[in-house]
Structure 1
Amino acid sequence: MDFDRRPLIAICFGWFMVIVDATIVNIALPKLGKEFGASVAGLQWVVDGYTVVFAGLLLSAGWLGDRMGGKRVFQSGLALFIVASAACGFAPSVGLLIAARVVQGLGAALLVPSSLALLQAGYDDRGARARAIGIWAMVGGFASGSGPLFGGILAYGLGWRWIFFVNVPVGIVGMLLAARWVHVGREGRGGERLDVSGQVTGMVALLAITVAMVEAGRSGWTGPVALTGFAVFVAAAVAFLLAESRVAAPMVPLSLFRSRELSAATAIGCLMNLGFYGQLFVLTLYFQQTRGDSALLTGLALLPQTGVIALGSWLGGRVTGRSGSRTPMIVGMAVGAAGFFALTIITRSVPYWALVVPMVATGFGISFTMPAATAAVVEGAPSERTGIASGTLNAARQVGGAIGIALLGSFVAGGSGGHSSGIRISMIIAGVTYALATAIALTIPRPAREAAQERETARAAR
């Protein structure tokens, strides 16, 4: 059976933009910070304004796609993303840039779950569908890893605003291709009502913890805004759990977490993005503000970390298919932890070559783990709940990224990225999160085949 690439190509235009925009803007932060006179806290919100909304609305956007139809929601999200990208490029102040990034996050939240739904509708053959989703995942890995390099090239050659302007023609082409090549699938259906209480309390909790951590870097961890934010987070998180345990159709069914494999993979997804995206924010400031590198040189300097992501994802998928999800998650998180701890050698004068191997380790760690975490969630969920389980993992990862940027960024906020001690603390925290993720991976039950082989080896040794 011939594999029709056209629906996949059309969908991947939008998918690539959404994922690359989570990392491409990092490279431009020092430039736009200088132009607008923005603090590190303001720069954190340029990134987190996008990520918080993306994470907070991801699951509800999936519900909307089921109700209104995947193609309609996909095209709406892509159109919103294009308009918001243009607004980002024309933004005259950091406040308006953050506002436009928030709208970008809304467009991304609409686009991502509907893109997967459209792939399922577009490929009736099971093998073709698996191939399409595999390519879709690889495009996401490439987008995430290439963001800093593309950002450096655009910011250096054309100016930071072109990081956003470039989305406009790419997005328009994506909309035209989707209109022509993507199957409509089901037009939408009735059914479960939106979990408003879960959406509101979850969004408030995520926003509160992000505000608290950003403000902690600006005014201290015991400042009134930070303390209020932490208090609101605790209250909203408790309210979220209560709401999800009582509503008939919860946004995140708590019964899913009875599976040890699914619970562990979701926690690992949050922790791995917390460490990786937090340190990426810090390293970008380090290379440009501490070492004085240009945006282009910074993108090139980060290549050992970001360039290995596509390879690591491919290897992780192959190993997961052969040995299950437990081993790749243990190995990936342990290697990443070692890389982050090794990056604590950072100073203004440390030779660049000394940072290369640790950066390779951190990039390999997250990319080798991602396919295994996804497989663990799918395998640990009931067959009728795989969609919501996958959405939960993606939401947890985005939440982790938002918190990581806020938390790790708070330790360099006082010195605008120039204090080596704050950078070292950030790398230690990233290493600890990956070490914790390794410990959680160790709690996942071994696959039956692997356990049997170990018992046979032990008997032979006796």
Structure 2
Amino acid sequence: MDVAEPERRRILAATSVSYVVVILDTSIVNVALERLSAAFSAPIEGLQWVVNGYTVSFAALLLTGGRLGDRYGARNAYLAGLGLFTLASLLCACATGLFSLVAARVLQGIGAALLVPGSLKLIDHASPNAEKRARAIGLWAGCGAIAMAAGPVVGGILIDSLGWRSIFFVNVPIGAAGMAMTWRIAHDGPRVKAQPLDILGQVAAIIGLVGLIGVLIEAPAFGWTSPAILIGATVTLFACTLFVAIERRGDHPMLPVRLFRSAVFTGSVYVSCASAFVFYGLLFVLSLTFQQVRGWTAFETGLALLPMTTMVAAGSMLSAAIVKAIGSRRSLSAAFLVYPGGAFGLILAGTTTSYAYALPALLAIGFASGFISPAATAPALGTVEKERVGIAAGVLNAARQAGAAAGVAILGSQVTETITQTSGTNPALWLLAVVSVVTACIWWRMSG
């Protein structure tokens, strides 16, 4: 049954507000890294956990968050997620140490894993008409694109004027406003018949993902052959193997492995993961470089990142037209070849020359990132049945979050000891280029 227009507008307003906050948190925290390092005497490994505490919990619980929305109602899941996210933001702002900040960031990720799929389900239920639903989702995604573009600048202004805690305090009134609007929503849509949750699979996924990111972050400090890292790697391998076995044999798997029988779907998941690896890993590295090497303030760093994040929005808006003109196979492969071009441009520009030399590379990388996400989504969803579109979209989003966490862990670790040197970011940039070229080749083969 269709929903009245005033109700539809309330739903769209409430869900868009929450999505803006979630997307802001993926970019705004990077601008605060230097202040957090000074406040808590945190090494790069600690800063990586601040970023990844949020991203890892978001990625690991996203599929279960969507299922909980099906089971208990999208409105209830959305309210629970937004309430937890808002409370966790307050805890982040009040953190007295690095551990408490990372723990609060984990809670933020759990809240996001509930509210993001819940918000999409609310929009879907409120707009049975395909045209209205497409416009609503477009506006919802557009708000996220604006948040991504504005995040570094907004963060810089807040940090320089009110301190790093302000980037978390600002979430509290926004989250409260979103909850107040959601309370007025009467329509929740139909609930799916209760199915057993994949608890064992979820636990294995959490252990595997946390273990992998932990090993990647801590190995440079402990040493790759240290007992702690070897034990961590063993536990990670066991958890990942167990997860695959559970998902293949379980009656109600959180991740239906038959989705990966399609080479196009598998390639799209890998492409989504690799693009997030490159973009968010580079965002972490550049944020540190601009502040620690160039000595820029948080606001100056936000302005420096603005061209790149703005081009993410531009690439996203032009993606459909480009794919329609030349196809997803050629366009996605070409987009991944833009990444190494941008990386070489940043290598040539260095870390101490005029920012103008780095600007073209930043614009190119931002556009490629914005283009890839929607361009990889359409072919993947086109390979699954209509009733599995939701779970397929959840898999793609989880892959992006996992890729972002891995990018921060691996590319961030490349500059642990050398960031103060002129060529300190070069190892990360060379690795970025290699991953991008390999991904272009893989997609060309799997999509053919």
| TM-score scaled by length of structure 2 | 0.95
- 1:35 paired residue among 36, 39, 42: 39
Structure 1: segments with no counterpart, 5+ residues: 447-462
1:428 paired residue number: 430
1:92 paired residue number: 96
Deviation at 1:284, TM superposition (A): 0.5
Further displaced range: 170-179 or 266-275: 170-179
Name the CA distance, whole Å, in 2 between partners of 1:150 and 1:249: 43
Change (3 A) 1:445 1:282: closer
1:245-303 per-residue CA deviation (whole Å, 9 max, x = no partner) reads 11112111111011111111100000011111111101100000011000000001112
Name the CA distance, whole Å, in 1 between partners of 2:288 and 2:349: 13
- 2:278 paired residue among 275, 278, 301: 275
1:230 paired residue number: 233
Deviation at 1:222, TM superposition (A): 2.9
Name the CA distance, whole Å, in 2 between partners of 1:419 and 1:426: 13
Report whether the alignment pairs 1:52 with 2:56: yes
- 2:338 paired residue among 330, 335, 340: 335
Report whether the alignment pairs 1:114 with 2:118: yes
2:132 paired residue number: 128
- 2:143 paired residue among 112, 128, 139: 139
1:72-109 per-residue CA deviation (whole Å, 9 max, x = no partner) reads 00011001111110111111111111111111111011
Deviation at 1:181, TM superposition (A): 4.2
2:20 paired residue number: 16
Cα RMSD, aligned residues only:
1.8
- 2:109 paired residue among 100, 105, 110: 105
Further displaced range: 165-174 or 335-344: 335-344
1:380 paired residue number: 383
Residues 381 and 393 in structure 2, CA contact (< 8 A), matched pair in contact too: yes
- 2:79 paired residue among 75, 78, 81: 75
Structure 2: segments with no counterpart, 5+ residues: none
Deviation at 1:311, TM superposition (A): 0.9
Report whether the alignment pairs 1:442 with 2:444: yes
Identity of aligned residues (%): 42
Further displaced range: 38-47 or 340-349: 340-349
Report whether the alignment pairs 1:152 with 2:160: no
Change (3 A) 1:119 1:18: same
Change (3 A) 1:424 1:161: same
Name the CA distance, whole Å, in 2 between partners of 1:368 and 1:103: 30
Report whether the alignment pairs 1:204 with 2:214: no
Residues 127 and 133 in structure 2, CA contact (< 8 A), matched pair in contact too: yes
Name the CA distance, whole Å, in 1 between partners of 2:326 and 2:349: 36
- 1:168 paired residue among 139, 159, 172: 172
Change (3 A) 1:420 1:216: farther
Name the CA distance, whole Å, in 2 between partners of 1:311 and 1:80: 32
Report whether the alignment pairs 1:263 with 2:266: yes
1:449 paired residue number: none
SS of residue in 1 equivalent to 2:39: helix
Name the CA distance, whole Å, in 1 between partners of 2:103 and 2:118: 24
Change (3 A) 1:123 1:81: same
- Give the 4+ runs in structure 1 shifted more than 6 A: none
1:451 paired residue number: none
Deviation at 1:39, TM superposition (A): 1.0
Residues 380 and 392 in structure 2, CA contact (< 8 A), matched pair in contact too: yes
1:219 paired residue number: 222
Change (3 A) 1:260 1:366: same
SS of residue in 1 equivalent to 2:214: helix
Deviation at 1:444, TM superposition (A): 4.3
1:123-148 per-residue CA deviation (whole Å, 9 max, x = no partner) reads 12111001111222222222223221
Residues 351 and 423 in structure 2, CA contact (< 8 A), matched pair in contact too: no
1:138-184 per-residue CA deviation (whole Å, 9 max, x = no partner) reads 22222223221221111112111110000011111111112224632
Change (3 A) 1:53 1:71: same
Residues 82 and 167 in structure 1, CA contact (< 8 A), matched pair in contact too: yes
2:66 paired residue number: 62
Residues paired across the two proteins, number: 444
SS of residue in 1 equivalent to 2:438: helix
Residues 346 and 423 in structure 1, CA contact (< 8 A), matched pair in contact too: no
1:26 paired residue number: 30
Report whether the alignment pairs 1:296 with 2:299: yes
Residues 84 and 108 in structure 2, CA contact (< 8 A), matched pair in contact too: yes
Change (3 A) 1:65 1:321: farther
Report whether the alignment pairs 1:180 with 2:184: yes
Residues 56 and 109 in structure 2, CA contact (< 8 A), matched pair in contact too: yes
Counterpart amino acid of residue 342 in structure 1: G
Name the CA distance, whole Å, in 2 between partners of 1:323 and 1:127: 25
2:411 paired residue number: 408
1:398 paired residue number: 401
SS of residue in 1 equivalent to 2:425: helix
Deviation at 1:340, TM superposition (A): 1.9
Change (3 A) 1:291 1:431: same
Deviation at 1:243, TM superposition (A): 1.1
Deviation at 1:443, TM superposition (A): 2.1
Deviation at 1:239, TM superposition (A): 1.3
